[in-house]
RNA sequence: GCCGCGGUAGUAUAGCCUGGCCUAGUAUGCGGGCCUGUCAAGCCCGUGACCCGGGUUCAAAUCCCGGCCGCGGCGCCA
């Protein structure tokens, strides 16, 4: 290996390494050439360190050139690690350096200040944008959320599954699908693993989870939609009602909170974004849709037609309600109207206009959707007809229910939305390394 | 898909309403120079831009139309 270790590690080990020779590899972050002494700041993913070049430190030609290196040059500097009056408290007394790669044209984006550039420019040059620690931090948080998801559900007896993303039929929600040509036949990119995760539960796994991409061919132009995003899905059998699913969702968000706040690296990212806490009370408040209509109208003067879905403003207001009334960043909205839920949702036994469907709002944005699913074949077919659909077109799905299906339910969560809301990002594209939207297909 | 706003050097912006004073200003980057402890380094010199197409006008960065792209809101969704 050319590189001995991350800069932050070297800095942290100063007591042990002081006075010894180390090699620092990374990108040239800044140059302050003061004549006979030159300061080069080297950056890697973990931090920066200042390398000091004094006349006589190395051969004259190399010394002269050190002050002329372009920003973002990739290099390794050898030298003695010493304490210094720098921000890190540590600096490198340089003896030699090797340039590994130099920029061949002017930088279209300056990494140090990339977060001040327009988002379109940043995305066009994502490989420069992500050299900014504020930006890398987003994806370190994203990785931590994904890891928390896998660990939490594995510990809770769920099995990770990997379902196909090339499917024969558009699935459930009526969202537009991307067609693909599959050996001459028409196929689609999966818009959700919904049917397959239910199949896995019915197939005896009982409890499953999956992290995977999903595709929506909707021409949205908003700060919270992507045409490709990551869905965190769970599905579990032998439940008594949607509350069993909600409890598992709630536990996961508690885990996200404790992981993010408990780890020094993710905690410092949160601090960069001015986030000092993620508020989850002893129990996340729950409000039925029918109560929500009332709260919205009486408290905020927001009138929603009875039986209608929440619009974005209503979501924001309920987020505010959770914050003011319960000191919570989260609120479950339950018992969604049948009219705004997909056919596989189980309806309430005594009030079939309302369902077991729920959403979880995080700081006023929907990040989770779930429900108990209808596992009784006759009811399921009736629900399909009730939606004006043809049971024949869902034959492959309905077949799952013919050979013994336990009562079950589950939820789908948007990874990028969770990250966006956690860091209070203004646009979901920031939370995705390579976002796809109706206009953007590269890089 | 609908509605609104916008597109000026590599980047971020000023100028546009009220056309001529724009040879298009500023910061940063980039190129060169000075400086032995800088850390938002400093100082000096230089470089570099009006999205594309059409129209109005003596004259267009500025006004009008179309296209493309961007930003935001809505519908729909996670």
Structural domains in chain A, sorted by start = 7-101 (2.40.50.140), 133-431 (3.30.930.10)
A102 touches strand B (CB under 7 A): no
- How many Å apart are CA A122 and CA A100, to the nearest integer? 25
**Token pair recorded at residue A264:** 């020094």
| A432-437 mean pLDDT | 90
Q: Measure, in angstroms, how far nucleotide B40 C1' is from residue A60 CA.
A: 30
pLDDT of residue A170: 57
- Taking phi over 0 as left and psi of -120 to 50 as alpha, with beta for the rest, A274 belongs to left
Whether nucleic acid strand B comes within 7 Å of the CB of A129, the answer is no
Tens digits of residue pLDDT in A165-218: 998 875 555 567 888 888 988 888 998 999 999 999 999 999 999 999 999 888
Residues A322-352: pLDDT tens digits? Answer: 999 999 999 999 999 999 899 999 999 999 9
Tell if A296 CB is < 7 Å from nucleic strand B: no
Nearest nucleotide to the CA of A359, by C1', is B78
Q: What confidence score (pLDDT) does residue A42 get? A: 93
d(CA A390, CA A378): 14
Burial of A287 (0-12, 13-18, 19+ CB in 10 A): buried
Cβ of A83 < 7 Å from strand B? no
At residue A36, the pLDDT reads 85
CA distance to A13, A27, A30, A56, A96, per residue, from A59 (Å): 29, 22, 22, 7, 8
Q: Provide, rounded to the nearest whole percent, the portion of chain A with pLDDT above 70.
A: 99
A19 touches strand B (CB under 7 A): no
- In this predicted structure, which of A86-95, A143-152, A268-277, A404-413 has the lowest mean pLDDT? A86-95
Of A158-172, A397-411, A413-427, the least confident:
A158-172
Q: Which of residues 227-256 of A touch strand B (CB under 7 A)?
A: 227, 229, 231
Positions in chain B where some atom is under 7 Å from a protein CB = 1-3, 10-13, 28-42, 69-78
A104 CA to B32 C1' in angstroms comes to 18
Task: Report yes or no: A82 and A93 within 8 Å, Cβ to Cβ.
Answer: yes
Q: Is A381 helix (H, G, I), strand (E, B) or coil?
A: helix
User: What 3-state class would DSSP assign to A248?
Assistant: helix
ipTM (interface pTM): 0.84
Distance of alpha carbon A257 from alpha carbon A329, whole angstroms: 11
pLDDT at position A249 over 90: yes
**A86-90, A171-175, A377-381, A407-411: which has the minimum mean pLDDT?**
A171-175
Rounded Cα distance between A335 and A122, Å, is: 41
A119 Cβ contacts chain B strand, under 7 Å:
yes
d(C-alpha A41, C-alpha A98), whole Å: 15
Q: Residues A33-78: pLDDT tens digits?
A: 888 889 999 999 999 999 999 888 888 888 888 888 989 999 999 9
Check whether residue A69 has its CB closer than 7 Å to nucleic acid strand B. Answer: no
Round and report the angstrom distance from CA (A221) to C1' (B6).
15
With cut-offs at 50, 70 and 90, classify the pLDDT of residue A92: very high
Residue whose CA lies closest to nucleotide B72 C1':
A222
């Amino acid at each position: 290996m050319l590189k001995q270790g991350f800069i932050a590690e070297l800095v942290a080990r100063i007591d042990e390494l002081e006075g010894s020779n180390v090699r620092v590899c990374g990108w040239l972050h800044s140059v302050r050439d003061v004549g006979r002494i030159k300061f080069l700041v080297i950056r890697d993913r973990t931090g920066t360190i200042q390398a000091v070049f004094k006349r006589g430190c190395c051969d004259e030609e190399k010394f002269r050139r050190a002050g002329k290196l372009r920003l973002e040059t990739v290099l390794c500097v050898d030298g003695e690690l010493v304490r210094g009056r720098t921000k890190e408290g540590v600096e490198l007394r340089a003896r030699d350096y090797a340039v590994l790669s130099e920029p061949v044209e002017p930088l279209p984006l300056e990494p140090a200040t990339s977060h001040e550039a327009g988002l379109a420019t940043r995305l066009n040059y994502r490989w420069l944008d992500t050299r900014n620690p504020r930006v890398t931090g987003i994806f370190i948080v994203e990785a931590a959320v994904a890891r928390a998801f896998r660990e939490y559900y594995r510990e809770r007896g769920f099995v990770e599954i990997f379902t196909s993303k090339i499917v024969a039929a558009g699935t459930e929600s009526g969202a537009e699908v991307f067609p693909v040509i599959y050996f001459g036949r028409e196929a689609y990119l999966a818009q959700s693993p919904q049917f397959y995760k239910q199949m896995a539960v019915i197939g005896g796994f009982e409890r499953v989870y999956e992290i995977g991409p999903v595709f929506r061919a909707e021409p949205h132009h908003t700060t919270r939609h992507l045409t490709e995003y990551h869905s965190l899905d769970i599905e579990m059998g032998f439940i008594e009602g949607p509350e069993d699913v909600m409890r598992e969702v709630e536990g996961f968000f508690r885990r996200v909170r404790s992981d993010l706040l408990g780890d020094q690296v993710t905690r410092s990212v949160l601090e960069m974004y001015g986030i000092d806490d993620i508020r989850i009370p002893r129990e996340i408040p729950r409000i039925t849709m029918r109560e929500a209509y009332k709260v919205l109208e009486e408290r905020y003067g927001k009138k929603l037609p009875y039986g209608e879905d929440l619009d974005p403003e209503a979501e924001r207001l309920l987020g505010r309600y959770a914050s003011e009334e319960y000191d919570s960043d989260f609120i479950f909205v339950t018992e969604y109207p049948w009219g705004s839920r997909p056919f596989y949702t189980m309806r309430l036994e005594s009030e079939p206009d309302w369902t077991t469907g729920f959403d979880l709002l995080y700081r006023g944005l929907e990040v989770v959707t779930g429900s108990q699913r209808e596992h009784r074949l006759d009811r399921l077919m009736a629900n399909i007809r009730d939606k004006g659909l043809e049971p024949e077109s869902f034959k492959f799905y309905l077949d799952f229910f013919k050979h013994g299906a336990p009562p079950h339910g589950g939820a789908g969560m948007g990874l990028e939305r969770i990250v966006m809301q956690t860091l209070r990002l203004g646009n979901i594209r920031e939370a995705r390394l390579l976002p796809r939207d109706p206009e953007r297909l590269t890089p």
